[in-house]
Amino acid sequence: MTVALSLANLVAVALFIYGLHQLNSPPTARAGNQLAMVGMAIALVSSLLQTQGVGWWAILVGVILGGTIGIVAALRVKMTAMPQMVALYNGAGGAAAAAISTLEFFVLASGNGENAVVSVSLVLSAIIGCLSFAGSIIAFLKLQELMTGRPITYPGQQIVNGLILLTILGLAGWFVVTLGTMPVLAFVGLLICALLLGVLFVLPIGGADMPVVISLLNSFTGLAVAVTGFEINSTLLIICGALVGASGTLLTVMMGKAMNRPLTNVLFGAFGSGGGSEPAAGSGGPQQIRSAGADDVAIMLAYASKVIFVPGYGMAVAQAQHSVKALADQLEKRGVQVLYAIHPVAGRMPGHMNVLLAESNVPYEQLLDMEDANPEFSTTDVALVIGANDVTNPAARSVKSSPIYGMPILDVDKAANVIVLKRSMRSGFAGIDNPLYEMPNTSMLFGDAKASVDALTSAVKAL
């Protein structure tokens, strides 16, 4: 490694860290991303100059193919589909790390064995990379609704996973003891087991827990990259992997806190698979539900002084973000103060709702976190819940027996009036009745979220 390359890497790392630092506020975030881009360009170019042309055509093919796929996908993807996109990118990083380890295995297996550090990091990077890749693919399939978003469980699931994990550990031990000179077939078996475990560990995790899973897979990929750095003796990879791993871990912890559930419960609890409280579809009997028409709600909104919108996954599914902004514009024209209250786990990934609302030109100052939003509800005339359910369920505060008891929620019930936009009376993901719907200050507006919001907008306009 030459001095020039080391220096270039140093500059790149500084730009990555400062770029991430700039993400601490929306006005500087874009500059931060661009600084990170410059850092990446410096790192890539200086590494390419070191290759002296060996394998140049493979690198060229990779850049052209990967660059085209990456950029086309980035420009085409719908904002509502960001969780799937990020899942795929996590998977790509994991797969790349595993592929590098596989190549390294073949390079070094033909020699006389490696040193202990390289063999340990090689096998770890292969395992974590495969886990992250396979897990991300399953997460993608669930988010894209190519397979059911409900948890998939079967008897003895944990035992099967445990046995696979033991097999992986056994093979990995063999690999390390022989310093990486184990038979090719055994190494392939190791990769297959790791892939299988990745699939099996995401299968029982339900759709609403996806924010946790995506964050966790993000940290796995970071870890795989960091370990790859040990394998090929690159501090650049170690640092970048560590940054990504820290980010993913931090987000995982935040999401877990926002659901008041330990990580183990998210991963192994198969939450929302039914358990004792099957969705009470129709079984609730005559609940005291008041249903309102769009015209009544429009009047309520138009003559309010403060309205808070509470978006959830339902808004993303209905692609209603632009309609929501149009309604907000109409209300603001009439002097109504409009705010948005966003629960940390609303949607399918951290910050999902914020990006959707940003897409429809909602200024970010109007987007409130849970901590900032909750004190506002008591002085709010109307809270308009758009496709959110469990994150507004007051049972989390008071009903000790509720599965979501203790989960921090948005206190929409403190508002003078609550309007809930909902497709039907089906329970939310957790399959729990929401007492909010039976409260005297709550009215339901049934229908598709986008259609309902559009109806409200035209009703307000007509006033």
Active site residues: 390
Work out the burial of residue 368: count CB atoms within 10 Å of its CB; fewer than 13 is exposed, 13-18 middle, 19 or more buried.
middle
Does residue 24 belong to the site contacting other proteins (CB under 8 A)?
yes
User: Which of 56, 426 has the CB closer to other proteins?
Assistant: 56
Residue 341, SS3 per DSSP: strand
Does residue 202 belong to the site contacting other proteins (CB under 8 A)?
no
User: Which of 191, 459 has the CB closer to other proteins?
Assistant: 191
Structure tokens given for 381: 């005339």
Q: How far, in Å, CA of 16 to CA of 6, rounded?
A: 15
Q: How far, in Å, CA of 301 to CA of 460, rounded?
A: 8
Does residue 27 belong to the site contacting other proteins (CB under 8 A)?
yes
Does residue 188 belong to the site contacting other proteins (CB under 8 A)?
no
Does residue 311 belong to the site contacting other proteins (CB under 8 A)?
no
Number of residues that bind other proteins (CB under 8 A): 108
Does residue 130 belong to the site contacting other proteins (CB under 8 A)?
no
Does residue 316 belong to the site contacting other proteins (CB under 8 A)?
no
Candidates 7, 10, 70, 424: give the one binding other proteins (CB under 8 A).
Answer: 70
Q: What is the closest distance, in whole angstroms, from the C-beta atom of residue 166 to other proteins in the complex?
A: 27
Q: What is the 3-state secondary structure (H, E, C) of 187-254?
A: HHHHHHHHHHHHHHHHCCCCHHHHHHHHHHHHHHHHHHHHHHHHHHCCHHHHHHHHHHHHHHHHHHHH
Q: What is the closest distance, in whole angstroms, from the C-beta atom of residue 36 to other proteins in the complex?
A: 6
Q: What is the closest distance, in whole angstroms, from the C-beta atom of residue 118 to other proteins in the complex?
A: 10
Does residue 30 belong to the site contacting other proteins (CB under 8 A)?
yes
Candidates 135, 198, 207, 229: give the one binding other proteins (CB under 8 A).
Answer: 229
Q: What is the closest distance, in whole angstroms, from the C-beta atom of residue 106 to other proteins in the complex?
A: 6
Q: How far, in Å, CA of 421 to CA of 437, rounded?
A: 11
Candidates 261, 352, 422, 450: give the one binding other proteins (CB under 8 A).
Answer: 352
Does residue 26 belong to the site contacting other proteins (CB under 8 A)?
yes
Candidates 36, 196, 216, 294: give the one binding other proteins (CB under 8 A).
Answer: 36
User: Which of 346, 455 has the CB closer to other proteins?
Assistant: 346
Question: Binding segment for other proteins among 98-106, 154-162, 163-171, 194-202 (CB under 8 A)?
Answer: 98-106
Distances from the Cα of 257 to the Cαs of 40, 137, 222, 343, 344, in angstroms?
A: 33, 25, 22, 12, 9
Does residue 71 belong to the site contacting other proteins (CB under 8 A)?
yes
Q: What is the closest distance, in whole angstroms, from the C-beta atom of residue 47 to other proteins in the complex?
A: 5
Q: How far, in Å, CA of 299 to CA of 463, rounded?
A: 8
Residue 161 · residue 227 · CB < 8 Å: no
Q: Which of 377, 400, 381 is nearest to 392 (CA)?
A: 377
Q: Which of 257, 254, 156 is nearest to 204 (CA)?
A: 156
Q: Which of 118, 128, 102, 127 is nearest to 231 (CA)?
A: 118
Does residue 185 belong to the site contacting other proteins (CB under 8 A)?
no
Q: How far, in Å, CA of 257 to CA of 266, rounded?
A: 11
Does residue 92 belong to the site contacting other proteins (CB under 8 A)?
yes
Give the DSSP letter of residue 277.
-
Q: What is the closest distance, in whole angstroms, from the C-beta atom of residue 312 to other proteins in the complex?
A: 15
Candidates 350, 403, 408, 431: give the one binding other proteins (CB under 8 A).
Answer: 350
Does residue 189 belong to the site contacting other proteins (CB under 8 A)?
no
Residues in 372-401 at the binding interface with other proteins, rule: CB under 8 A: none
Does residue 170 belong to the site contacting other proteins (CB under 8 A)?
no
Task: Report the amino acid identity of residue 357.
Answer: L
User: Which of 107, 166 has the CB closer to other proteins?
Assistant: 107
Does residue 93 belong to the site contacting other proteins (CB under 8 A)?
yes
Question: Helices marked H in 23-55 — which ranges?
Answer: 26-50
Does residue 96 belong to the site contacting other proteins (CB under 8 A)?
yes
